[in-house]
Chains A and B, each alone.
Chain A
């Protein structure tokens, strides 16, 4: 019997065979078909693959599956409940905080992690917290606005 690992994914217990060197990013994209988590650079520079691991934002391209055992993983697909957008998602829509949309899931997950830790950040703290997530279209100022506005409506 192959070794397996168990963890919690978007609120559900899941189990998959443990593959040596498999990263969380590709497990999500291939094993679970959760393609909202994007590949951007593979080395942790860009943040498009950001998910939450035990409520901490992590670069899923740099997390090995063996380190995911027993953890709680939240992806962009786990953000809206019964079709109702999460306040951060809603704020991104309302503030038009995207263009091509490819960095958007990573931005939202990173922002979620940020707000979980610091529910009412200053603008500077938002900028600091988002610094490592890249956006090529230049939606930055709208993204900061969206996070600031979500911090006012979100209940942690």
Chain B
């Protein structure tokens, strides 16, 4: 199964090639051994996805630096937002170079020091960058061995390496360390890399569990996020915001704000900002600006949005088709038609978008909480009309991303204000701004017509996905007559939308797995048995059987009254299956999740501990969009503005969580997203199993649960 969203073939042509400035780089790091790699081919697909203005760099673009003390610095353009590659990448590097893990230092997300990278998303770091990095490191190891042999005056097949020390195989005392090889010189090696298949079971450090490498920094408050940097003369900027998307500023009276001490006002085209050394003083001054707007808003709200979507002009494309839908209808004994709705949800990372801009000579430098440092660099260059060489973006630790920090509006704002004033400018969004400018997971409609034949096989699958995104929209089941159609439009939403952890797949898996459950119930077949009967993919069957064992599942027709749900799916190269147990209070409509089990097949797992934590995080985050999270709005006016009216999962919700990562000797796959895709489906199916009422809309708020129960009666 191919994850089509992240592997498109088209690369934009006629775009400027960005050459990495190696001289700068060498100057910054001093002496030692530099190894450069060309990762060109790997980057091709992701650059197109990012719609960034440059094409894939032709230059060498990944670096390893070995210093005289043996310390290995690995520079990658990815960022750390809690997903844990700051822990798992050193495992890969250490293993491949045969050097202690303690000697590895990561430099990440700095456009000046790190190789180009399209962005940290799609659970791609390990599965996509990983294999190329590994091949590169394997080559680097050979180069080091060669240099070592030369140094020791023996043939290269006479030496080997352990813990960063090269020695003669039959004479261990004759040795030289990586650091000694690098000592007193500046050596540059350029390698061309072709990824090759590996036997993952040979790994020593990978496959072992490591706690977060950044744990101590984060428990002491020493870890630096964008808002934690301080510079002499730094000013906080508070920017005038419209009351709604679709409002245009007509006039602004700043006279009262100007009277306040220490306030400066900057106005440039659409941007009006107040500056002050103190965040709260800037905020108070902003509140004194009187602004008038004109409104041109879309007539849609959170209640009418699904009707609006179905009526909205859109482009359709057939994502996948096999057999013939009409034949499928003829061959079906029973036909099932359903329409599923899913709401807008927010990313709501605990750290709102933040950026600090400052000038270094004529260069604009921005420290920003962004998942796409290079995309942000592009955006700033475009917005300010200055060359890429005049923009540097550095992403420190991110306080969560989940796809929301692929948007970098705050970094552009900081860059513009710092360029206009020449001063260091901190743009720290409030929670309200974060909700207002978030690129929400799109609301969506899924229509499914499916059928089963007399033998209980699925004979028809006609799937229509409106604005969810196509990821995860293929049926994973073995159906002779199946078609998936995707509908999209740029203008259907009254505000920004974007990628939200496993984009598209949460909605698609919810709809598909609910429909499968409906059919199983109607046929009077146990929902696990029905799935197994209609699946051919061995890995999907594998995770379903594994989760059933983990959960202690026993067969029963639905609704069994036990409150058990099942769902399975595919995302980011990985297979997942979930089971859940819920109780439903029939008088209040409140759903309590008692336990959730999940089995995941993600190929070879680099850091089992890190992966389990990601998996648990997916399950917990998924409780929110399944049960409570929904953005309320009227036109472009977003009523959801803080955690008081947007309920995230909290401690008292925690179900018992059982997880299992299958032991596989295959290429590593994504782990940051797959575990969340089944949460809507598994809980909707569990609610049905508890009370016999099916919910066709997420989130399953108490009101909707009561409504669904009333319909059954």
The yes or no answer to A141 lying at the interface (CB within 8 A) is yes
Residue in chain A with minimal CB distance to B620: A138
Contact of A127 among B225, B230, B349, B652 (CB under 8 A): B652
Contact of B617 among A128, A134, A137 (CB under 8 A): A137
Chain B hits for A80, CB < 8 A: 220
Given the interface contacts A137-B617, A138-B616, A141-B616, does A39 sit within 8 Å of B400 by beta carbon? no
Given the interface contacts A41-B431, A80-B220, A101-B218, does A144 sit within 8 Å of B651 by beta carbon? yes
Chain B hits for A130, CB < 8 A: 651
CB pair A93–B215 under 8 Å, yes or no, is yes
Given the interface contacts A33-B230, A38-B351, does A98 sit within 8 Å of B215 by beta carbon? yes
Q: Of B399, B402, B614, B652, which is in contact with the most chain A CB atoms at under 10 Å from its CB?
A: B399
Given the interface contacts A45-B644, A48-B350, A136-B400, does A98 sit within 8 Å of B278 by beta carbon? no
Given the interface contacts A37-B221, A42-B431, A136-B400, does A100 sit within 8 Å of B349 by beta carbon? yes
The yes or no answer to A46 lying at the interface (CB within 8 A) is yes
CB pair B225–A85 under 8 Å, yes or no, is no
Given the interface contacts A134-B648, A136-B348, does A100 sit within 8 Å of B280 by beta carbon? no
Determine the distance from Cα of A143 to Cα of B365 in the docked complex, in whole angstroms. Answer: 36
The yes or no answer to B560 lying at the interface (CB within 8 A) is no
Given the interface contacts A23-B280, A96-B212, A138-B617, does A43 sit within 8 Å of B221 by beta carbon? no
Contact of A42 among B430, B619, B648 (CB under 8 A): B430
CB pair B350–A85 under 8 Å, yes or no, is no
CB pair B400–A21 under 8 Å, yes or no, is no
Given the interface contacts A40-B431, A93-B211, A101-B223, does A138 sit within 8 Å of B618 by beta carbon? yes
Determine the distance from Cα of A45 to Cα of B651 in the docked complex, in whole angstroms. Answer: 14
Determine the distance from Cα of A142 to Cα of B431 in the docked complex, in whole angstroms. Answer: 26
- Total interface residues on B, using CB and 8 Å? 59
A32-71 toward B: CB 8 Å interface, digit per residue (1/0)? 0111111111110110100000000000000000000000
Chain A hits for B398, CB < 8 A: 100
Given the interface contacts A100-B81, A140-B651, A140-B654, does A76 sit within 8 Å of B220 by beta carbon? yes
Residue in chain A with minimal CB distance to B219: A89
CB pair B619–A131 under 8 Å, yes or no, is no
Residue in chain B with minimal CB distance to A142: B613
The yes or no answer to B635 lying at the interface (CB within 8 A) is no
Contact of B350 among A33, A37, A38 (CB under 8 A): A38
Contact of B349 among A45, A98, A136 (CB under 8 A): A136
The yes or no answer to A115 lying at the interface (CB within 8 A) is no
Known: A36-B221, A138-B618. 19 other contacts (CB 8 A): A38-B227, A39-B227, A42-B430, A85-B219, A96-B215, A99-B400, A100-B350, A100-B400, A101-B217, A102-B225, A102-B351, A136-B348, A136-B621, A136-B648, A139-B613, A139-B616, A139-B617, A141-B616, A141-B620
A→B interface (CB under 8 Å): 19, 21-23, 26, 29-30, 33-43, 45-46, 48, 75-77, 79-80, 85, 89-90, 92-94, 96, 98-105, 108, 126-128, 130-144
B→A interface (CB under 8 Å): 81-84, 211-212, 214-225, 227-228, 230, 277-280, 284, 348-352, 397-402, 428, 430-431, 609, 613-614, 616-621, 642-644, 648-652, 654, 657
